[in-house]
Structure 1
């Protein structure tokens, strides 16, 4: 197709075909038309290699991944649009079952190797226009930006001017864990942005049942010998426990403790 441009300012860079972003990404995921040995460790190939091999508890057998194969779609694009079908293709994978001698363990001789091709399901196929046909309707995948895994710190300002700090732990896989301070300086935790809970409840669920165990995570401890008369400990400033969400030791007056 020939394009006509009536612009007075010449183009510095040629406008790229934005659909190629979707098409190239999907081709890298499926890697169609490539032999199993020439496929790169990405997309489906990387997923299979990450899961397999699966070893038995005693190590006497293992299930290994050999290769996968993409067959031709059963219906073309026009037929799927007219008949309300999904434009997809069958995915089949070849697995290898390795069985070893029982008395030899994992380092013994092989007893038997079975290899078989398994039908895994249908994978939607992208059209040349960068769309998918699902039940006769064309759908598109919208690219989104994802936060990199790690720890993200932030804060918000309360109407009274107080800074409310927060921390978000983004995992590579799985849920997100968030910690946040409220206006009363209480520490709350959220999992996958659901209902918040006190941070101490999360720590107790992780095995820290006693208050002393939680305090030891945030404050240094001292071992004092039993002496007479009792010592008078001067504490500089109130000791606020962020784990408990309250002031652990008040210092309005001197704290007198009888040791022992």
Structure 2
């Protein structure tokens, strides 16, 4: 009904679908005989308000093929329900001008804390000047100058797209309006009343509120679904996805030298299957989180290269384990060297020396040397 208030998971359009037929029991056959088609098993496929949304129903459209409406093949009727809600602009909402100068509101301040002109007029919006340098869209600056002069003079300017409007002409309009020809004005701190060190560009700009609002984007996830191929978390709020750590975010962590945080993001919080399971168990049991393993994305890359007849195997890891095994074997076979395990290089050198030396006296001298070295260490 138009004007009704609806909330999350409220039914907007009731709809059921019959379930697949199966062999009926005696009780089900009796119910079917008494109640007829009403006793059939059905599945609820009603149109509901999505999670986290709501509002007031403002319009309902019913499209029917029998009424002459054009619908997709196989579709007989479509019901459209329009739900609206009033939202005040808030931090995190996106706004934009007409020159690609888009941005997100980072803070909303009281008008008495905003910078002020000499006559006490507070500014409505502060835009970072770095955005102009990055995007090189100088049209927003020229629009600010010209619109400020137009508001003061009560004039409108028609500037066609791609047509040059000379800066000298803009300066002349500013002078005619009694403004500074540079387009800059002195601003004063709204909290202290002190003048800022440099003059700032102040003017009029056309700003629009975009459909990208923070209420639609706020999302949180602890654990959730993973991609079958890469084993990385899915993306998107609708699929309970994770937060994407892109290329530039990796650069930011590298710039801050946050090596352990970066490793955690790229392994335990992503596609290290065994590592994330061990980490989850460690957090539950209050234990130390173990070291991460090889991420699944690297294994996928190895498989793709194998499809190109390129074999990749972790040689360094295999050699390291082999060397470690040889050292353990040498230590077990040579009792003299078991006392000096902390010095790995000394163990390997001494084990080869012990194989070559046959006389017992020389072996005893070597053992004494190794024990002296251990005491020094």
| TM beyond 0.5 | no
Between structures 1 and 2, the one with greater strand share? 1
Give the TM-score range, shorter chain.
Answer: under 0.3
Q: TM-score, normalised by structure 1?
A: 0.26
TM-score, structure 2 normalization: 0.20
Q: Which structure has more helix as a fraction of its residues?
A: 2
Which one has a bigger Cα radius of gyration?
2
